[in-house]
Amino acid sequence: MVAQADLWSTRIFNRFVSNSSSERPGRALRRHDGRRTPASKDESAHYPRAAAYARHTTMPLEIILVLIAIFVLLALSAFFNISETALTASSRARMHALEQEGDKNAYLVNRLMTRPERVIGTVLLGNTLVDVLAAALASHLAVTLVGDVGVVAATFVMTALIVIFAAVLPKTYAMADADRTALAVAPFMRATIWFLAPLTVAMQVIVRLLLKLTPSARDDAANILATHEELRGTIELGHKEGAVAKGDAHMLGGVLDLSDLQVLDIMVHRTKMETVNADDPPQTILDEILKSQYTRVPLWKDEPENIVGVLHTKDLLVALGKQGWDVATLDVMSFAGKPWFVPDTTSVKDQLNQFLKQKQQMALVVDEYGEVQGLITLEDILEEIVGQIADEHDTHESAIRPQADGTVNVDGAVAIRDLNRHMDWDLPDEEATTIAGLVIHEAQTIPEPGQAFTFHGYRFEVLRKSRNKITALRVKPVAPVGANGGGKSGRSGETDAMSAG
């Protein structure tokens, strides 16, 4: 190609720079029949100035064009990379809010991300095309300039240019301001998707055909984390990085845990329920209601497990007013509410929805045999989200008491979830609900006061016991919290029982 360009450039140069009208060697000669004799292919040898001029004008022009093409291809590669990162990292909530405000580019972003596989397929196809073409042009230019050894140099140079200027730099910029970048590239990305749609569709068809030929094809959706698990991971990461406060992380995590918890996990056990015998004299019932800190109290007959109604203090006051404040003539069962029984396997999320639907705030929890196991209130569910809720009538007895020596004195009835939240620990709560239950489960026996056990990276010492119930323990981390992967990793050491003194 270069030799042919030299030939034609030489002939043009000779035509316009020659001052002589006589025929010179190498110039086309006119024959008697009017035709010209072709010039010799080596006529440039007769005109060294013309050959040098052609060589110095053609080669730089070709180099410039190739360099321009390479830089354009690198810019396209950077566009594909910055578009992919910005669109995938942009905030869906922010884009939705902007779309509601009438932002057209936000609407485009949401439309593009409804089918992210199209965006990813277009980016992969376009990126591959421009990178390969840029590398090919660079190799051709290097071979033309320095020979075959230029391929090696072109490989290293193009690798550096693509990685730095077409990949790392654009992706870093897109991550730093994903929302604004996504809004800027959305129109161009939509046009690119439309332009490359035939090739993208063809690739998808080929991939599907190849996947059908594989012996075991699994649905990729089965390997994708559920949405709430992704949110949980984001919250935990934000908490570790300091972007989310501890209290906020606990509240957000509590909302996500509602669907995983059952009412059995957070209910008030029947041994802690305040109930009233409906057969007692009205004055006795009134005295017990006045001494209670609760506004709703279950009523029972014959035996405490036989709940027959729920007495609300407001209904009691209304009935007393109608009776002229004559307590002796009061019939509590005439205005007591009907008890609401729910299975102990009901999820906390479903129970919350039922509370809102039924417009009630308390339910009795029963097991598979119909026996009352405890009760659950709307406040119990809310406390799983926001933590302990106390009012002016609640007794403020701390069940979790950190000590100066790093140990923590805990009542046996304290829920594992409450201790984890209070101390930022990660004790397992799959097999037991309370700290006492966890110790009994791991020890496989009912321990005596003074015995100590080590498991899950913590040392548990039994302080007090009432009959078969552990009432107080002392807990101390024996390893850095989280060093053993938290409580879910199983026992962190041998369980040892030893007498205290």
Q: pLDDT tens across 354-395, in order?
A: 999 999 999 999 999 989 999 999 999 998 888 877 776 666
Is 69 within 8 Å of 137 (Cβ atoms)?
Answer: yes
- What are 91-99's contacts with CB under 8 Å, separation 24+? 91/178, 91/179, 94/179, 95/179, 95/182, 98/183
Question: In the numeric block, which tokens belong to residue 453?
Answer: 């056990």
Cα torsion 451, 455, 459, 460: sign? negative
Instruction: Collect all residues with Cβ–Cβ distance below 8 Å to 116 and sequence separation of at least 6.
Output: 87, 88
Q: Which residue has the tokens 């239950």?
A: 437
Q: Are strands 268-269 and 372-377 parallel, antiparallel or unpaired?
A: antiparallel
Closest Cα to residue 260, out of 228, 235, 230, 237? 228
Does residue 499 belong to any structural domain of this protein? Answer: no
**Are 381 and 455 members of one domain?**
no
What pLDDT is attached to residue 398? 75
Backbone angles phi, psi at 375, to 5 degrees: -140, 160
Which one of 327, 351, 386 terminates a domain?
386
Which one of 386, 415, 443 terminates a domain?
386
| Coil vs helix vs strand at 101 | coil
More confident residue, 146 or 69: 69
Percent of the chain whose predicted confidence (pLDDT) is above 70: 79
**Are 289 and 370 members of one domain?**
yes
CATH number of 314's domain: 3.10.580.10
Residue 395 per-residue DSSP state: -
Report the alpha-carbon distance of residue 202 to residue 199 in Å, rounded.
5
Closest Cα to residue 88, out of 123, 54, 63, 57? 123
What pLDDT is attached to residue 312? 93
Does residue 44 belong to any structural domain of this protein? Answer: no
- 40 pLDDT above the threshold of 90: no
What pLDDT is attached to residue 72? 93
Report the alpha-carbon distance of residue 105 to residue 113 in Å, rounded.
12
User: What's the predicted TM-score (pTM) here?
Assistant: 0.57
Does residue 267 belong to any structural domain of this protein? Answer: yes
**Are 269 and 413 members of one domain?**
no
**Are 62 and 204 members of one domain?**
yes
**Are 68 and 200 members of one domain?**
yes
Which one of 356, 386, 416 terminates a domain?
386
- 106 pLDDT above the threshold of 70: yes
CATH number of 481's domain: 3.30.465.10
Q: What is the mean pLDDT of residues 417-446?
A: 88
| Coil vs helix vs strand at 484 | coil
Q: What is the pLDDT of residues 404-428, one digit of tens each?
A: 888 999 999 888 888 888 888 889 8
More confident residue, 113 or 487: 113
C-alpha R_g of the chain: 41
Question: In the numeric block, which tokens belong to residue 334?
Answer: 């005439």
**Are 156 and 68 members of one domain?**
yes
**Are 296 and 375 members of one domain?**
yes
**Are 24 and 66 members of one domain?**
no
Domain range enclosing 249: 227-257
Q: What is the mean pLDDT of residues 65-80?
A: 92
Report CA dihedral (262, 264, 266, 271) to the nearest 10 degrees.
Answer: 170
**Are 186 and 115 members of one domain?**
yes
Q: Which residue has the tokens 């550096």?
A: 160
Q: What is the pLDDT of residues 290-337, one digit of tens each?
A: 888 889 999 999 998 899 999 999 999 999 988 888 888 888 999 999
Does residue 123 belong to any structural domain of this protein? Answer: yes
The sheet with strand 452-455 has its strands ordered as 400-402, 408-411, 469-477, 458-466, 452-455
Q: What is the pLDDT of residues 6-22, one digit of tens each?
A: 444 444 344 434 443 44
Does residue 51 belong to any structural domain of this protein? Answer: no
Q: What is the pLDDT of residues 160-209, one digit of tens each?
A: 999 999 999 999 999 998 999 999 999 999 999 999 888 888 888 888 88
Q: What is the mean pLDDT of residues 204-217?
A: 73
**Are 133 and 201 members of one domain?**
yes
What domain count does the chain have?
Answer: 5
Average pLDDT score over the chain = 80
Does residue 196 belong to any structural domain of this protein? Answer: yes
Closest Cα to residue 121, out of 53, 30, 54, 205? 205
**Are 136 and 242 members of one domain?**
no
The DSSP-derived string for 465-480 is: EETTEEEEEEEEESS-
Does residue 408 belong to any structural domain of this protein? Answer: yes
**Are 411 and 425 members of one domain?**
yes
Q: How many other C-beta atoms lie within 10 A of the C-beta of residue 9? A: 19
| Coil vs helix vs strand at 388 | coil
Does residue 498 belong to any structural domain of this protein? Answer: no
Instruction: Collect all residues with Cβ–Cβ distance below 8 Å to 473 and sequence separation of at least 6.
Output: 409, 410, 412, 435, 436, 439, 460, 461, 462, 463
What pLDDT is attached to residue 145? 84
